[in-house]
Amino acid sequence: MTVEAVNPKAYPLADSQLAITILDLVQQATNYKQLKKGANEATKTLNRGISEFVVMAADAEPLEILLHLPLLAEDKVLASSYPFFYLTNLDGLFFNNLLYQHSDLYLNSCSVSTFEWLQNVPYVFVPSKQALGRACGVTRPVIACSVTSNEASQLKSQIQQLKDAIEKLLI
């Protein structure tokens, strides 16, 4: 499918190099059982808050059957938890060489909490539903899929890099 023939509603559209990278990661996510195929499944992952990013086919007919997904992706946010420490008690704690001697006091006076960082779920269009279907490991065309989150995933760094690349398209 040529870029000229793509519906202008299919925004953001990945260029050929990014589309190849996306399809490669989708194929790996299939192998790691971190992929949901189809518009209905992608909608469910967005509603449940487990979607890392959503990939849609720009040649879906009619394209309007997918256009609820960008709205959901912008509406639903992915909550990422980051641990941080804060002191709850500074009594008897000196910030010099006594800190080393009283490290147990320092650790006991700290509390661990989580900071929720909210961000939109990235989404992107790729040119071909047939290529997306092959990347998803099926012989039929797939018009949408969602890569799901997994804390223990080996794909975590690759997913983050791809999410950053998709976010650059949206800017």
The domain segmentation of the chain, as residue ranges, is: 9-76+121-171, 78-119
Quick count: other Cβ atoms within 10 Å of Cβ 2? 6
Which has the closest alpha carbon to 26: 65, 46, 56? Answer: 56
Per-residue pLDDT of 77-113, as tens digits, reads 655 544 544 444 555 544 444 444 544 444 444 555 5
Q: What is the per-residue pLDDT for 75?
A: 86
Quick count: other Cβ atoms within 10 Å of Cβ 89? 12
Per-residue pLDDT of 132-148, as tens digits, reads 999 999 999 999 999 99
Entry pTM: 0.76
CB 51 within 8 A of CB 45: yes
Within 8 A by CB and 6+ apart from 42, the residues are 36, 51, 54, 56, 69, 144, 145, 146
CATH number attached to the domain at 9-76+121-171: 3.30.1330.30
